[in-house]
Amino acid sequence: MSAPRRVLIAGAGIGGLTLAAALRRHGFDVQVFEKARKLEALGAGIVLAANALWAIQRLGFYEEVCSAGLRLSGGDVRTWKGCVLSGSDFEDLERELGVFVLAYHRADLHEALLRCAGADCVRLGTSVESFDQDDDGVRVLLGDGTQVDGDLLVGADGLHSRVRSAWRGREAPCYSGYTSWRGVAPAEAALHPSRSSESWGPGKRFGIVPLSRGRVYWFAVENAPAGGSDGPAGPKPHLREAFGGWHEPIAQLHEPIAQLIDATPEEAIVRTDIVDRDPIDRWGEGRVTLLGDAAHPMTPNMGQGACQAVEDAFVLTQELTRPSVSVAQALRAYEARRIPRTSAIVLQSRRFGEVAQWSNGVARWLRDRAMSALPKRAVVNQLRRTLLDPSFYSAG
């Protein structure tokens, strides 16, 4: 673009803050509107894979973001009895891309991105409720009744995006058929300081990710009707019953799941139904577009939700900084590059979760046999095909 523009961003999540940090480095006037009165991320972990950190490196704030995370050396998938089905090491990807795979407490990553973006560009306690646009700009109406003018609006306001619903109407998300619990416990309860792991049982999974500063993130997933609750006793009794006996025959070789559950404060365990949305072929119109979960919410099965939001921010920054293009041209070019890739990952992640959550014994036996027969190189190559997609790395 020929001159810096005023960019309005709805939502101060990972994608919104990454975009704000990137555009401010290019001289854009950026304002971020966040409905929360205080930026507090849920007490859970998150992994940024090499594709996201490659983008952050090129956006110019890799060191700041890297310092907040813990480097992972690899990851394993096991049966509920602890037998390894599949494993991958991240060294080859690190050599190819020149970046690490990092695990974060969400609050740490959020704080790092806020420092990169600058807290002065974030307006808390208000959200974008609606907008109008014409050939000259876009005007947003905030939740506190004020109006703000800008050159473009980016809806990075999550699964229940007001920006998205303003032009598409309200859409119910697609329930996956399984719910999840998440928590963070002291790292003394985990045995592998740099490898993540996920164990698969009948219609259930349990995952573990080491974090920095003596902590470990864990998550439990179970087939269940939508909208369930844990009742007055809280989640721990059910989690102990469902997962507490996993890995016991060879517990000295595997993470002590029961201890992780017990070591997590009851009030710090978060239950969330797992949902996504069917891909759409348009993210906006005119001077408005979407980013992250507002555009392409996906299940967490491939660990790509936040990573794809970061990729969105990278590509949108590229398109907005091209010379001699209009706002609308830049936004449609961004969508043309991102929609095919994110749509494929949404569907791939959905399929992955369906297979991982199988409860039928024969189907699980066949799945596990097929997974254990794959050489490690084949697993790494599949990971490479996802992360090193040419449409992302070669375009622009």
Ordered by start, the domain boundaries in the chain are 6-73+100-173+278-357
pLDDT of residue 187: 76
Average pLDDT on 348-377 reads: 93
Q: Which residue has the higher pLDDT, 153 or 392?
A: 153
Angle between helices 14-25 and 106-117 (to 10 degrees): 20
Nearest to 308 by CA among 104, 126, 69, 47: 47
In sequence order, what E strands does 28-151 have? 29-34, 45-48, 70-71, 74-79, 84-89, 102-105, 122-124, 128-134, 137-142, 147-150
pLDDT of residue 189: 56
Angstrom CA distances, 190 to 121, 241, 317, stand at 39, 20, 39
Please write the tens of the pLDDT for every residue from 6-22: 999 999 999 999 999 99
Average pLDDT on 361-375 reads: 93
pLDDT at 97 over 80: no
With b for 16 or more beta-carbon neighbours within 10 A and e for fewer, the 202-237 pattern comes to ebbbbbbbbbbeebbbbbbbbebeeeeeeeeeebbe
What six digits make up the tokens of 296?
Answer: 């392409």
Residue 219 corresponds to which amino acid?
F
pLDDT at 391 over 90: no
pLDDT of residue 252: 46
Angstrom CA distances, 228 to 158, 234, 342, 359, stand at 22, 12, 29, 19
d(CA 135, CA 144): 26
Average pLDDT on 115-138 reads: 96
Q: Which residue has the higher pLDDT, 256 or 351?
A: 351
Please write the tens of the pLDDT for every residue from 19-70: 999 999 999 999 999 999 988 766 689 999 989 999 999 999 999 999 999 9
Work out the number of other CB atoms within 10 angstroms of the CB of residue 385: 9
Average pLDDT on 193-220 reads: 93
What six digits make up the tokens of 133?
Answer: 């646009």
pLDDT band at 253 (very low <50, low <70, confident <90, very high): very low
pLDDT of residue 177: 98
Average pLDDT on 189-194 reads: 68
d(CA 332, CA 338): 10
Task: List, in sequence order, every residue forming a beta bridge with 185; answer none if it has no partner.
Answer: 216
Q: In what order do the strands lie in the sheet with 70-71?
A: 45-48, 102-105, 70-71
d(CA 96, CA 51): 11
d(CA 102, CA 170): 35
Average pLDDT on 326-331 reads: 96
Work out the number of other CB atoms within 10 angstroms of the CB of residue 75: 23
pLDDT of residue 88: 84
Query: The whole model's pTM is what?
Result: 0.94
The DSSP code sequence of 306-322 is HHHHHHHHHHHHHHHTS
> Under the phi-then-psi rule, with left for phi > 0, alpha for psi from -120 to 50, and beta for the rest, what region is 188?
alpha
Nearest to 206 by CA among 41, 168, 216, 124: 216
Q: Which CATH superfamily is domain 6-73+100-173+278-357 in?
A: FAD/NAD(P)-binding domain (3.50.50.60)
Residues 6+ apart with CB under 8 A from 300: 180, 274, 349
Phi, psi of 32 (to 5 degrees): -115, 130
Average pLDDT on 124-141 reads: 96
d(CA 387, CA 213): 28
pLDDT of residue 280: 97
